[in-house]
Structure 1
Amino acid sequence: EPQIVYTHYRQQPHEDDEINLLELWRVLVRKKRLLVGITLAVTLAVSAYAFFAPPFYKAEIFLLPPLAKDVHGLNFQALNINEHSSASVYNLFVRNLRSRAFRMRMFKEQNLVDLLAPDRDPDTRIADVFERTFNQALTVSQDLRKKGLEDFATVSFETRDAHLSAKVLNDFIRLVNAETISILSQNVAEKLNSRKQLLQNQIASKRKLAPLRRGDRIQVLEDAALVAEILGIVDNTVPTIMNGPTTPVVAVNNSQLPMYMRGTKSLRVIAKTLRQRSIEDPFINGLRELQEQLVLLESITFNRDSITAVTIDQWAIEPKTHAKPKRLLIIAIGFVLSLMIGVFLAFFLNTLEQQREQLKSS
């Protein structure tokens, strides 16, 4: 029978890895001058850029929603105008901060094109200067992911002038706050004017219809008087119900009786009085209530100075240190990149040298 022979193989250590690492180290040692030279050259160049590049200063302003008393002037509970909360006003303010229209207005009104780009090419478009030096440099940030912090907003502006960065930012916040208040105030004023116009139209229509209603009433009275005359009813006839042998108790609602039951005498006196009436207002149903509402609307005073769309947690102050360039970070990145470039060139040159030796030996 065939026998199965088990052969035990002894695993040999992988010496190739150690040899390769040692060879790599020898290559770096042979090319150390190249490696050090490239590292120093690139690092010095990057350092020169970091130290001589124009600095940019960053000003920041911190914002919170307005208090309830700050938007109270936009709400009138007596008129059922109570739709402006602190949150809604603040959200409108933040949207206006991001508006290109408001930013461009600030850019033009403050003549920032000359302040932010004094050395610009005369052929450069103002829109390009606005986009590069103002719109991109002005940022609004909110941390909407953290509960309780979504109302906090930070607005920052970067430019080469430290004083200008804070001034422009504070002026922009004031502009947006004023314009937001103006928009809200205009909306409320339009609603008040709309209600005033509606009340005035209702009052005018009631007054216009009052003579017609009076004429209708006179015609009804005359018709009833004619019926009463035909029936021979001269005086007011009111039936009574006897509650006892001697005490009558009247229990009749005249409005439910035919009008001719009042008699010709009473009906014609009422009709004559209506014809001679010269003033309609006291007899118009609901007129005084409408006039009262109109007087209330006209008595409302709108004070914009008591309204604000934002609470300034901290105004922007002139930064003492520049935000860009970050010199240490730039130098560190430059050193790492220069070292990587030097290592790559060292191995690349070593490979070329080996290929040349192989060609010579062949």
Structure 2
Amino acid sequence: MYFEKRILREVNEIDISIDYEIICYSDRITIDKGEIVSGNINYFKRFENRLLVEINDGESVYIYNLEDYSKFRIEKQGEFLTNKIILLGYWNDTYTMRLTKAIDFTNKNSELWESERTFAKTFVFNNNFFSLASNLISLNEIVNSRILWQYDLTTKYNWKQKADYIDEPPVEKQAEVIKFLGVYKNELWMILNSGALLALNTETGEESRYIKNGKMILGESEFEDFKGYFGYDTVLDEKDGLIFNLSRHFYAVFDINSKNDFFDSYSFKESSIKHKLNLNYIGGHDADRIFAYEGSDNNRFAVFDRAKKEIIWSGEIEDAKNKFPAIRSMKYGGDKIYVLDHNSTLHIFERE
């Protein structure tokens, strides 16, 4: 189904989308085969058509406009909120973040606001942004950081984790948000560290749904009734209103438009065995397929059919066999599969 078209050496990181092919080397960044950044690259992050790049051990931090390749320098590394505004974190002498500034870099880098609040995670929604700090979820206005509502996760969804030793009792774990998935029909969806889904009403901040348990639709569950779970690689498909994830050989999917209080689980163990891998990490998806890999020392990657609920094709990186991690990263974009291996070699596969 796919064949290897190109190989690039000494690649550190990739960011692939429908619009951009961003490839980061140790000394440069190329976008769509054209070089735009040179120097000792420490870090980069893309938000839509803007790119934040830290160069030369933090001496220079720039924001690049990917439409015209214009750039400007900023004081500190930060996290994007929109195409116009960036959050900058400032630390004290003990490397503890002490305040946050918001800068409008479309208006002579003017400062919008400064706050002693710090944010572990942020997610943009219209002219507002959701934030997470110490298990307190907030909806804030971008222009002035005014809090519109707050939800305290506290200990409501704490969970029990099996102890390391047989004779010891389970250990209680604090419920935490590991990822903002996104917004669908006035609900903010999040992933908890227990593998559950939590949704809040975007207008009021009230809890609307909590999805923890799965129902086997195809195949059988495994140890301790395991049916898969929702982890960091979980995807919210905003077009169809589906939340899905791959874990081991389980495809877990929740239909947001349903009134179910459970997710559906499909076992594709037979095709996992056939293709010699368990799919744990998602590198991308389209309307019909999921592009995923196992990680660890397995050098194989695969295409999963969302309708058939099975692996329909797999490939492998021969030079990374028995290495750790055999596959460092995998992305999908422009009908191409990008696989970054243990040796910092980027393999680009195109559809036949």
Structure holding more helix per residue: 1
TM-score when scaled to structure 2? 0.15
**Please, what TM-score do these two structures have when normalized by structure 1?**
0.15
Higher strand share: 2
Radius of gyration: which is bigger? 1
